[in-house]
């Protein structure tokens, strides 16, 4: 997938230049009636995500708040949201924004940050006083994380949870029980029975300790629970996998949101969604654009549920919209996809310690705030032991080792998949890694049978970017879907673990005079977002197909030449996929389709 780009920086989570800034404002008021508590919500080894919660525990309204703390040398804030954060050496100060400084009695507000290093805050002060609401008492640490809950006594409507106790220097007062990231109970013991659940439904549970000063510690690991009962009806779309990629950055310039899957009718025609992309940094999985992923607020008319997000709800953004989509369409499974063309550079380092990488990925996928959203993980390494945007020299065994580590960490109840090269040439990218050996650990491969040819070869020859089969005059042997699938089968990958890839876009050249494939060109054709590429929803009208070759369509209009799939060519590819015994098909990506989802509908119809 050559054109996976990040959102424009201006839309992403606010990044602040902390180094060298000094902003130590005078305390607005005494802190005897407010508390500030800290929790580390993610940790990926060399960095982490932290969250502060400021709560008004008094009887009068707070008009502003300032939280101060010290980090040990080597630990620092790198980005922040919902507060203005500055530093002076190792001392850090966070002040409220203009819109979240006023706190009525009993109200609370949170702000968060990404940090580097491994230290924890010390010497916390809120508005000049102690963060626990009393006099300043250095050393009053937050409690430790409790043990990961164990589930037992699971029925149609209830589950019993037990966990090992947290520790605290001044004593643990109670525990908050979190279901799917939201608090459902506060208990004084290390067990809780959750009732009133829905039968045959998946839930995720974690717990968090509170000390005698009402400080909360880190959230425990999470446990997934499925209540008994219910039905196990197959999805309405049949037994083949029909998977689409949803791009994190599509909510910006493309204005494509999870609700579009509903309004287009596509949600009822797919079985799986790959959410693209998580990043791979320092050999670890991490969320990329945190604003789009879990902070962007949706109005009632924009949301899947028809309910507006509130400023203080535990989860917003794409993740919450996906949660709402799954509630509306229970057959859909969602996988978190990491890597892609832009972010594959971190996989080489990840392969050096595959177990640590897998552990970091599970921590992201199972974050208590959204653990119920994701049913698995997809690894999009472009390309192991070969070159993509960067070149990898991990060796032919690295991909298999990484796949095995993921399965060992995630277990058998998660889907684990990989998007892989479709280079079927002799000595090409399929031959560079042990895809056959890795297949035993994976549920399926998304074989990227597109982007074979394009205007990166500026003068041509023109050729379809997603040929199903070879044809006379094809620019390179092995660059077609049939060759890639045959090679993977020959390496021992079961046909049922192979999905055929479809592009919901076209690739094109300009300066072309020859209508048939094989003509010369002068460069890439103009595109809405990038030269040489355009969505199907645009091309179907702006440059209608004039012929087919190799099982896909092409079009010559004016001096431009495009190739792309249509509902008719998709129907032919789906027939071929069924005849080959493939596990189904996938596509890149939802926003390229028409408003009524005609390409997704063609995949659905073709695989029935």
Residues designated as active site: 382
**Cβ contacts of residue 132 below 8 Å, gap of 6+?**
35, 140, 213, 214, 215
Q: How far apart are CA 346 and CA 337, in angstroms?
A: 14
Per-residue DSSP letters for 403-465?
A: HHHHHHHH-TTSEEEEEE----STTSGGGGS-HHHHGGG-SEEEE----SS-TTSTT-----S
**Cβ contacts of residue 276 below 8 Å, gap of 6+?**
4, 245, 246, 247, 248, 337, 340, 380, 589
CB atoms within 10 A of CB 396: 15
Q: How far apart are CA 27 and CA 39, in angstroms?
A: 23
Beta partners for residue 260, in sequence order: none
**Cβ contacts of residue 16 below 8 Å, gap of 6+?**
79, 80, 84, 85
In 3D space, the residue among 160, 329, 157, 179 whose CA is nearest the CA of residue 229 turns out to be 157
The single-letter DSSP state of residue 63 is -
The single-letter DSSP state of residue 387 is B
Q: How far apart are CA 280 and CA 298, in angstroms?
A: 28
Per-residue DSSP letters for 255-282?
A: ---THHHHHTSGGGG-SEEEEEEEEEET
Beta partners for residue 187, in sequence order: 175
**How far, in Å, are 120, 121, 170, 190, 300 from residue 40 at the CA level?**
9, 10, 20, 21, 31
CB atoms within 10 A of CB 329: 17
Q: How many CA atoms within 13 Å lie on the side-chain side of 264?
A: 23
């Amino acid at each position: 997938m050559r054109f996976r780009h990040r959102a424009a920086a201006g839309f992403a989570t606010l990044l602040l230049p902390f180094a060298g800034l000094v902003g130590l404002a005078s305390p607005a008021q005494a802190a005897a009636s407010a508390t500030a508590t800290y929790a580390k919500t993610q940790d990926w080894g060399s960095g982490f995500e932290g969250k502060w919660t400021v709560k008004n525990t008094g009887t009068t309204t707070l008009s502003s708040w300032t939280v101060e703390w010290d980090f040990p040398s080597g630990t620092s804030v790198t980005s922040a949201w919902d507060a203005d954060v500055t530093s002076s050496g190792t001392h850090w100060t966070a002040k409220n924004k203009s819109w979240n400084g006023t706190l009525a009695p009993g109200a609370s507000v949170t702000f968060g940050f990404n940090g580097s290093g491994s230290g924890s805050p010390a010497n916390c002060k809120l508005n000049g006083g102690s963060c626990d609401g009393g006099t300043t008492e250095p050393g009053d640490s937050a409690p430790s994380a409790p043990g990961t809950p164990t589930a037992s006594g699971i029925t149609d409507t209830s589950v019993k949870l037990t966990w090992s106790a947290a520790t605290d220097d001044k004593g643990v007062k109670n525990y908050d029980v979190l279901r799917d990231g939201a608090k459902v109970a506060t208990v004084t013991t290390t067990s809780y029975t959750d009732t009133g659940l829905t039968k045959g439904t998946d839930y995720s549970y974690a717990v968090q300790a509170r000390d005698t000063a009402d400080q909360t510690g880190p959230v425990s690991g999470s446990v997934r629970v499925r209540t008994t009962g219910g039905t196990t009806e197959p999805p309405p779309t049949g037994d083949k996998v029909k998977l689409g990629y949803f791009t994190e950055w599509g909510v910006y310039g493309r204005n494509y949101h999870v609700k579009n899957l509903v309004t287009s009718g596509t949600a009822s025609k797919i079985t799986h969604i790959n959410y693209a992309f998580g990043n791979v940094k320092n050999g670890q999985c991490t969320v990329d654009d945190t604003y789009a992923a879990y902070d962007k607020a949706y109005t009632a008319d924009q949301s899947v549920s028809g309910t507006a997000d509130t400023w203080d709800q535990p989860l917003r953004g794409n993740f919450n919209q996906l949660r709402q989509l799954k509630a509306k369409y229970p057959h859909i499974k969602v996988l978190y996809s990491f890597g892609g063309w832009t972010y594959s550079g971190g996989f080489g380092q990840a392969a050096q310690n595959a177990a640590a990488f897998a552990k970091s990925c599970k921590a992201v996928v199972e974050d208590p705030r959204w653990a119920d959203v994701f049913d698995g993980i997809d690894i999009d390494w472009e390309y192991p032991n070969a070159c993509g945007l960067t070149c990898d020299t991990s060796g032919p065994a690295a991909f298999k080792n990484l796949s095995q580590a993921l399965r060992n960490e995630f277990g058998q109840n998660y889907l684990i998949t990989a998007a892989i090269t479709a280079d079927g040439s002799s000595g090409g990218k399929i031959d560079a890694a042990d895809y056959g050996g890795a297949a035993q650990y994976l549920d399926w491969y998304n074989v990227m049978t597109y982007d074979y040819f394009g205007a990166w070869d500026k003068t041509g020859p023109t050729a379809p970017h997603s040929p199903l089969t070879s044809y006379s005059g094809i620019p390179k042997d092995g660059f077609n879907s049939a060759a890639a699938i045959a090679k993977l089968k020959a390496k021992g990958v079961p046909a049922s673990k192979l999905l055929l890839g479809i592009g919901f876009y076209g690739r094109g050249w300009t300066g072309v005079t020859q209508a048939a494939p094989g003509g010369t060109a002068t460069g890439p054709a103009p595109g809405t977002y990038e030269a040489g590429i355009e969505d199907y929803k645009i091309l179907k009208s702006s440059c209608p197909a004039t012929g087919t070759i190799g099982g896909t369509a092409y079009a010559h209009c004016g001096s431009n030449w495009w190739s792309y799939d249509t509902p008719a060519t998709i129907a032919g590819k789906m027939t071929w996929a069924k005849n080959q015994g493939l596990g189904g098909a996938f596509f890149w990506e939802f926003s390229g389709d028409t408003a009524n989802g005609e390409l997704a509908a063609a995949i659905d119809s073709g695989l029935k």
